[in-house]
Structure 1
Amino acid sequence: MATPLPPLVWLRTFEACARHLSFARAADELGLTPAAVGQHIKALESHLGFMLFERLPRGVRLSTIGRAYFPIVATMLDDLTIATAGLFGGQNVAAVTVRCSVSFATLCLAPALPRFTALHPAIPVKIYSSIWSDDLEDSQIDIDVRFGNGRWEGFTATALTRAASIPVCPPRTDFGADPARALFDLASGSSIQIVGLDNLWVGLSRQLGWPDGAVVSRFTVDTSAIALELAASGTGCAMVSADLARLHLQRGLVSAPPGIVLHHDLTHYVLLPARGTRPSPETLRFRDWLLETFTGP
């Protein structure tokens, strides 16, 4: 016989304890006593037949099966929160504060945002752009979009865009029958480097079999948006995230050699705090919209 679904109140308590890794902080959030939280967890573990937490001299940590169960329960509660808010609404609609880079904000988020507004016209959105991801206090934001390898302490990160970059060149560049050779001639004379992404030209050079040191940066900038504008003006070639380059390519502002793509382990991620108060329904809706909009081929 299948194990009956545990009471929702036990699951809610488990999710809060797993998120805080503290029975006391979970009790504060839920308006319960620490003793009541402990009773809920003990009852849930007895119901399931597994220990979900390891009790330590100071605090707790999730057991192996507890770590596996946590995202399942968290997703279920997220879905329930969104569905309840969607069906029954509420008088107070919370604004969603989003932090992302200047490039992602201007090249990806801003063009797509009208679609979110059409779906959720009552939800205000605040966008704070920053070149470096620690310009604002984490407590001030609901959703963070960062470019990197997905490992940021204190956050849960979900990949948002492709981990691939492409060379972008001035518009109407003729790549001829040998795009790699044409790109080499351009990049060896006037390449653009983006601070923090120094290894992209190196990686592409090795992929295409170019000599080491053949691409020497003539210009250095600190955002992909500036690199794209320099390429659009005819100044040089830059290695840019394929998703950030899409708008300029669609508008014919830059060109890209066909079939040349550098795959790597860096991409945009949508981040939510791993600890603290549960996200609002509005935050969860915006996160889901981001994933639906930008995740894919």
Structure 2
Amino acid sequence: MGSFMRHLPPPAWLRSFEAAARLGGFTAAAAELGLTPAAVSQQIRSLEARLGYPLFHRLPRGVALTELGQSYLPAVRRAFEDLASATAGLFGVAQGRPLVVRAPPSFAVLCLAPRISAFRALHPGIPLRLCSSTWADTAPEDRVDVDIRYGDGRWPVEDVRPLTEPGSVVVAPPGIDFGPDPLAVLAPMLGQGAIHIIGCDSFWEGFARLHGIPETSVGRAVAVDSSHAALEMVAAGLGVALMARDLARPFLAQGRISVEPRLTLPHDQAHFVLVPKTTDPRPEARLFADWLVAEMAALGPLVSGPVPSTRGSI
């Protein structure tokens, strides 16, 4: 055995440390690892004795990492991830268990589903399960390996990367020529009614203030709970909507809507991909996230009028 191995703590102690740090307590870590809380506590005490320093503050309810524990945790996680990645790379994915990817319904339909065949062509040995959830805080029925969310990106997860540009753009029925004064063209359409997306209700108010439009002049045609539904209504001529640029691409490519890049609302909301931390990290999750980030980054700027589909995937 190499000399460096003699100085390493047993992996079981490190797994208990990682789980307790992530879950905030020995009882929760024990339930995940299939041990008793006393066994987890003993393993962590043994680890602290081996290292010569405390890793946790014992609190009335749960535990909290010491400063040294906070510094040690990322290295322990990376070690487990590297080991899992090497194992999967050499011996394949575990028992064909599907990689569970969760996404908002509109992103799943408009951005993700058209690209899945490209991922499958690159990685035919990784089975996928795609599920959707309108609200990011909805508890999933199954473990989620890759989570795609819409928000400001400030979630308590270490691996969070942007997929789309923040901000919203006005989408209108097909054939609209906004000309040199897009606000003048938009005004009568707003009076007839704007389509509101539930969860983004304040966007039209912010747009009106930014562009000097009286908020009372923005009518409400209908409220929907997804950008996909809003796009279908815009394409049918029901009204105009504000939404993430990249969600509008498929409809724009098909000539079903008009987009005016000068009519935008800057804000910090965008789509992000998250890879939750677990005690048994799946390297396929990081592989999928890396691939999706590259796919979305390859999209060109959104322009008005129909545009060709990007990379043949939409």
Question: TM-score scaled to structure 1, two decimals?
Answer: 0.81
Of 173, 179, 184, the residue aligned with 1:181 is 184
What is the percent sequence identity of the aligned residues?
40
The Cα RMSD (Å) is 3.2
The residue number in structure 1 matching 2:8 is 7
Unaligned runs of 5+ in 1: none
Q: Which moved more, 1:95-104 or 1:23-32?
A: 23-32
In the alignment, residue 245 of structure 1 is paired with which amino acid? A
Question: TM-score scaled to structure 2, two decimals?
Answer: 0.77
CA contact (8 A) 2:195 2:221 kept: yes
The residue number in structure 1 matching 2:264 is 261
For residues 4-34 of structure 1, give each alpha carbon's deviation from its aligned partner in whole angstroms, at most 9, with x where no partner exists: 9973736555323322323455466287943
In 2: Cα distance, 1:170 partner to 1:95 partner: 40
For residues 88-139 of structure 1, give each alpha carbon's deviation from its aligned partner in whole angstroms, at most 9, with x where no partner exists: 3256222012222221110011012122212211111112223344666454
CA contact (8 A) 1:172 1:254 kept: yes
The residue number in structure 2 matching 1:285 is 287
The residue number in structure 1 matching 2:43 is 36
Matches within 5 A, 1:1-297: 7=8, 9=11, 12-23=15-26, 25-26=28-29, 29=33, 33-34=39-40, 35-44=42-51, 46=52, 51-64=54-67, 66-67=69-70, 69-71=72-74, 73-89=76-92, 92-133=95-136, 137-150=140-153, 158-160=160-162, 161-273=164-276, 277-294=279-296
In the alignment, residue 201 of structure 2 is paired with which amino acid? D
In 2: Cα distance, 1:268 partner to 1:121 partner: 26
- Does the residue aligned with 2:215 lie in a helix, a strand or coil? coil
In 1: Cα distance, 2:63 partner to 2:291 partner: 34
In 1: Cα distance, 2:166 partner to 2:72 partner: 28
For residues 9-64 of structure 1, give each alpha carbon's deviation from its aligned partner in whole angstroms, at most 9, with x where no partner exists: 365553233223234554662879432332124434x3xxx653212244311234
The residue number in structure 1 matching 2:312 is none
CA contact (8 A) 2:20 2:26 kept: yes
For residues 212-237 of structure 1, give each alpha carbon's deviation from its aligned partner in whole angstroms, at most 9, with x where no partner exists: 22211112222110111111222211
In the alignment, residue 216 of structure 1 is paired with which amino acid? G
User: How many positions carry a matched residue from both structures?
Assistant: 288
In 1: Cα distance, 2:76 partner to 2:165 partner: 28
CA contact (8 A) 1:94 1:280 kept: no
The residue number in structure 1 matching 2:311 is none
Unaligned runs of 5+ in 2: 300-314
Q: 1:91 to 1:280 in 2, by over 3 A?
A: closer
Shift of 1:190: 3.1
CA contact (8 A) 1:93 1:282 kept: no
- Does the residue aligned with 1:259 lie in a helix, a strand or coil? strand
For residues 164-201 of structure 1, give each alpha carbon's deviation from its aligned partner in whole angstroms, at most 9, with x where no partner exists: 11111112210111123322332232311111211111
In 2: Cα distance, 1:145 partner to 1:90 partner: 22
Q: Which moved more, 1:89-98 or 1:199-208?
A: 89-98
In 2: Cα distance, 1:135 partner to 1:13 partner: 27
Shift of 1:277: 4.5
- Does the residue aligned with 1:257 lie in a helix, a strand or coil? strand
Q: 1:14 to 1:41 in 2, by over 3 A?
A: farther
In the alignment, residue 254 of structure 1 is paired with which amino acid? I
In the alignment, residue 293 of structure 2 is paired with which amino acid? L
In 1: Cα distance, 2:93 partner to 2:143 partner: 23
In 2: Cα distance, 1:261 partner to 1:68 partner: 42
